[in-house]
């Protein structure tokens, strides 16, 4: 009897279905984080609803969620203004993340079950597929879910919530350029490397990788460039 071919490890991961409000929220969050909706822009729920092909209600609900996340502010009788983030503020966010996320990695060693690692692999695969298909909305979604899931294993809900909030507020205006030039995929591989280090019990290695990962958020992911090179002529 001929042997059956083994399934590819790169099967396209199934997407968790989102309801309308979640879909609108993810799309608007992505547009703000990547700069598609510019800082300081004043937008209204009806106008955004027309652009998205939905009513104003789910847009307004999503914008209220984004206001709680610090990405927009409510302007009475006008709509919502996209929060402006200075380089100093973004540097401060990264500095706080460096203080809490990398040192937490050793605490996750030995606490992730085999089922947990399988879930991390699923999220990492999904993030890589999104990077390679230039789907920034899915990339940011799975990246956020991946890191949140890792942090849930350190048994510190306050830290997990804070780190996830800081990650959501970070602006990554270079992601589109990286995706279009095929350089986001290699960055996405860092998720698989973190899984490998956590499986191997290498807390120091996992901590250093997280430092590098957060560092990307303030250089190549923020600008699309490396050491002054353009996204078109730089290499990963």
- How far apart CA 211 and CA 44 sit, in angstroms, is 38
In the prediction, which pLDDT does 217 show?
A: 83
> What ranges make up the beta strands (E) of 6-115?
42-43, 72-75, 79-82
Query: Distance of alpha carbon 9 from its chain centroid, rounded?
Result: 23
Contacts for 17 with CB less than 8 Å, ≥ 6 apart: none
Quote the mean pLDDT of the chain.
Answer: 88
Radius of gyration of the chain (CA): 19
In the prediction, which pLDDT does 227 show?
A: 47
Question: pLDDT tens for residues 66-78?
Answer: 999 999 999 998 9
In the prediction, which pLDDT does 231 show?
A: 39
Check residue 14 and report its DSSP letter.
P
Sheet holding 79-82, edge to edge: 42-43, 79-82, 72-75
Question: pLDDT tens for residues 30-67?
Answer: 999 999 999 999 999 999 999 999 999 999 999 999 99
Q: Which of 22-31, 59-68, 221-230 has the lowest mean pLDDT?
A: 221-230
Query: Distance of alpha carbon 30 from its chain centroid, rounded?
Result: 9
Whether residue 223 has pLDDT greater than 50? yes
Mean pLDDT of 108-131: 97
Whether residue 16 has pLDDT greater than 60? no
Other C-beta atoms closer than 10 Å to the C-beta of 69 total 16
CA distance readout (Å), 30 to 11, 23, 125 = 25, 11, 20
Model confidence at 186, pLDDT cuts 50, 70, 90, reads: confident
């Amino acid at each position: 009897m001929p042997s059956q071919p083994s399934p590819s490890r790169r099967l396209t991961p199934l997407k968790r279905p989102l309801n309308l409000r979640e879909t609108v929220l993810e799309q608007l969050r992505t547009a703000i984080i990547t700069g598609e909706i510019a800082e300081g822009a004043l937008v209204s729920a009806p106008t955004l609803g027309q652009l998205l092909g939905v009513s104003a209600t789910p847009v307004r609900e999503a914008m209220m969620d984004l206001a709680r996340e610090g990405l927009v502010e409510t302007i009475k009788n006008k709509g919502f203004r996209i929060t402006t983030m200075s380089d100093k503020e973004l540097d401060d966010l990264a500095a706080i993340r460096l203080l809490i996320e990398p040192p937490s990695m050793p605490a996750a060693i030995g606490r992730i079950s085999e089922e947990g690692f399988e879930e991390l692999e699923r999220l990492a695969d999904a993030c890589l597929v999104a990077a390679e298909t230039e789907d920034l909305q899915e990339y940011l979604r799975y990246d956020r879910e991946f890191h949140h899931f890792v942090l849930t294993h350190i048994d510190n809900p306050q830290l997990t919530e804070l780190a996830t909030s800081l990650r959501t507020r970070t602006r990554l205006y270079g992601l589109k350029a990286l995706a279009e030039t095929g350089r986001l995929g290699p960055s996405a591989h860092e998720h698989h490397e973190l899984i490998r280090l956590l499986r191997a019990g290498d807390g120091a290695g996992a901590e250093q990788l997280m430092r590098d990962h957060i560092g990307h958020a303030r250089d190549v992911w923020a600008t699309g460039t490396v050491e002054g090179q353009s996204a078109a002529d730089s290499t990963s």
